[in-house]
Amino acid sequence: MPIKVLVVDDSLFMRTLVADMLNSDPEIEVIDTAKDGAEAVNKIPGIRPDCITLDLAMPGWDGLTTLKHIMRQYPTPVVILSAYSKKDADITIECLKVGAISFVLKPSGELSLDIETVRGLLIEEVKAAAKVDVGRIRLLGKKPERRRRKLIGINKIVVIGASTGGPQMLEMLLTSLPSDFSAPIIIGQHIPSRFFTESLAEHLNRNSELPVRVAGNNEILESGAAYLIPSGFSLALKGRMGVNKETTEVSISLSEAVSGILSPSIDEIMKSVALIYKENTVGIILSGMGNDGVRGMTEIKKYGGKTIVQDESSLIFGMPKAVIDAGVADRVLPADQIAGAIEEAVS
């Protein structure tokens, strides 16, 4: 049976283009379209789509308002179609918190004549989203219990890799860690634009007891701070192991990513971190498609570090499964147990 999709966009032109793109794949069938949020919500119970593509900027109910109605009344996997702007980035990150699975950027604004350029990505995201258990979507807004155990300051580092479904899991993880967490945290989250990295960092910083920010070039790592590597850049850490396996001052070095690779590359981030911190590295792989992170986690294991992956509670189980299949996962845990495992690993 093909994946049944509802396309929601206020522009007839965009509805037609998006529907044609999705229908070009034999595994997908666009069963209906809607010109606004109210029409979409009214249609859902009659057509029961497997996935919805949802525009952000619409008259009446905008995308975020529509999404809230969908999640409250008819929980369904949703892929957001967003434009390149700071405002749209902020709203898109809020949509992920409310329950959207992922998002695809329109190449040139709301009316993107060149949207054909993201055909492959949109099809891939719709196929992945349609497989997500809506029961997991309901859990995204659940606030985890904050941990209050006092941590002992030990020179370790946590490096996290995530892709589709990752922002939602990152919020659950970071809001579970205490304010006295004793290790720096490096985060590689696949994301298509610097605007979205900034919006995600701001969102996580507002909701976490730990400071969360976009990593800056030549920035010195601080214990208990989380750093998102910006989209379009690669990471290298600068520093060395000193006496008694303690590090000297370690700083972040950013360079433009090689064209054609996932950005930022989780493999490259983890390999750079493991090279400096060796057995003091704790590697985490969360939700995402593909296998980025397998080589990085393998490198962490080679140096004697610890590796933890999210189990099938991942919205998308591709990246965690790839690490498990490679035999380099020390622990496989549900999302709500990973924060506790990280605390054990660094204290």
Polymer length of the chain: 347
How many CB atoms sit inside 10 A of residue 31's CB?
17
Among the options 9, 265, 292, 313, which is catalytic? 292
Is residue 182 part of the annotated active site? The answer reads no
Is residue 190 part of the annotated active site? The answer reads yes
Pull the structure tokens for residue 327. 């035999």
Pull the structure tokens for residue 331. 């622990």
Q: Residues 239, 251: contact at Cβ < 8 Å?
A: yes
Question: What whole-number distance in Å separates Cα of residue 104 and Cα of residue 164?
Answer: 11
Among the options 88, 102, 176, 190, which is catalytic? 190
> Where do runs of H (alpha helix) occur along 5-73?
12-23, 37-47, 63-73
Q: Residues 138, 303: contact at Cβ < 8 Å?
A: no
Is residue 255 part of the annotated active site? The answer reads no
Largest CA-CA distance found in the chain, in angstroms, rounded: 68
Q: Which residue has the tokens 């967003």?
A: 82
Classify 253 as helix, strand or coil. strand
Among the options 163, 199, 263, 272, which is catalytic? 163
Helix (H) or strand (E) run with residue 171 in it: helix 166-174
Residues known to be catalytic: 163, 190, 292
